[in-house]
Structure 1
Amino acid sequence: MDFKPLLTLLAIVNPLAIVPFFIHYTQDFTRAQRRRTVGVASFSAFVVIAASALLGIRVLEFFGISLASFQVGGGMLLLTSALNMLNAQPAEAKPNTKELQDGAEKAAMGASIAVVPLTIPLLTGPATISTVVIYAERAQTVLQMATLVGYGVVIGLATAVCFTLAEPIARFLGKTGINVMTRLMGLILAALAVEVMADGLHKLFPALR
């Protein structure tokens, strides 16, 4: 069984790095509201990954985009995310301060923040979606596709665990610990990004082999 897609997704999503955001958004929530937010965010992350795996290729075909081109573009996006992580920044593009304030205001008005911004874009964004689409194309059997969707379940569970234990994790790791973890995941992601781009370039330019 190939665990490379799971490692890549864990590196990109990196729910540990989102723990401070979760604490920020749910600081005024009751225990029941926080539990519901954890459940919705975890399930939403799974839905994004599953939908990307099952429908991503069809979307590419609809727009007439070759997978090789998508691999090169997706690989570049992954590499950019990895560079962000090596600087101890989350992999996906995050809202700026004003957007954070706007999100808090929406939460105060009763809008759920579990899907936006916790799931999209904090947990799953363009880098995550492009990664799933690339690996979905490589799935040759129904079992391999089911495994990829199953990895979405693992990501959802990892997210649920990290968010449920958010405050103890933040106290134990501290800002330094979370930064070190983010940099390590970024290094792994950079290596995987190079492999994805190299595979795409070989398909576009067979002479490179």
Structure 2
Amino acid sequence: MVDYIFAILSTTVKLFALMTPPAVLSAFLSGTKQYDEQLRRKIALKTSCAVFIIGIVLFFFGNTMFSVFGFTLDAFRIGSGALLFITAVSLMNDSPEKNKINSDDDISVVPLAIPLCMGPASIGTIIVMGTSSIGVVPNLIGAISLLVASMGIYIMLLCAKSIAKVLKNTGIAILSKLTGLLISAIAAQVVFTGISAFLK
């Protein structure tokens, strides 16, 4: 039981980091600055629901993509790992001002859910996770982790104003760079796993 809980926690942290929370936070703040609290809550809920639905579809049906396009899991690991590294570099070189967006439209699905939360790197990682998960328990761990990570995005967006007051632009920039470091480590591991399988 403890092993299952640890697996859920570690997978949740990994997924949450891949959703680039600093970028999502700054985009949400700039895109909802003219909205009242009720509308901000609605956008936060729609964003987290969209993230969860997209993640679940990719997790359970991503394997179909391999059959349709004819590439292997290890090839996809290397490709998604490269995208992960690019995401990490962009986060470490990014600033909150770069994520400002127009607040005239509904931003819950685009750009918050896609491509900020569900960009190429997170999509690739979720598909690899889903394809690697064989059996009821691994699939359940993946689904629960996606749910908890999506809830984490929801809570973060609900508390966006409070977080911004505490961290300010400098704090968000530092958090973005730390997230980039974590994602770069994940990217290295994903690429190493894919290359090792090719060399066997």
CA RMSD of aligned residues (A): 1.9
Matched, 1:85 2:79: no
Matched, 1:131 2:131: no
What does residue 135 of structure 2 align with? Answer: 141
- Structure 1, unpaired ranges of 5+: none
CA contact (8 A) 2:59 2:126 kept: yes
SS at match of 1:27: coil
Q: How many residue pairs align between the two structures?
A: 193
- Structure 2, unpaired ranges of 5+: none
**Equivalent-residue separation in structure 2 for 1:74 and 1:68 (angstroms):** 10
**Equivalent-residue separation in structure 2 for 1:159 and 1:63 (angstroms):** 32
**Equivalent-residue separation in structure 1 for 2:184 and 2:22 (angstroms):** 18
**Equivalent-residue separation in structure 1 for 2:21 and 2:62 (angstroms):** 23
What does residue 170 of structure 1 align with? Answer: 164
Give TM-score scaled by structure 1 length: 0.85
Shift of 1:169: 0.3
2:19 to 13, 29, 54: 13
Shift of 1:68: 0.9
CA contact (8 A) 1:69 1:200 kept: yes
Shift of 1:6: 2.5
Give TM-score scaled by structure 2 length: 0.88
SS at match of 1:151: helix
What does residue 155 of structure 2 align with? Answer: 161
Matched, 1:37 2:31: no
Letter in 2 for 1:10: F
What does residue 191 of structure 1 align with? Answer: 185
> Which segments of structure 1 move beyond 6 Å, counting only runs of 4 or more?
none
Deviations 1:77-128 (A, max 9, x none): 11111112222458xxx88x7xx44xx44x1xxxx32111111112211111
What does residue 68 of structure 2 align with? Answer: 62
What does residue 76 of structure 1 align with? Answer: 82
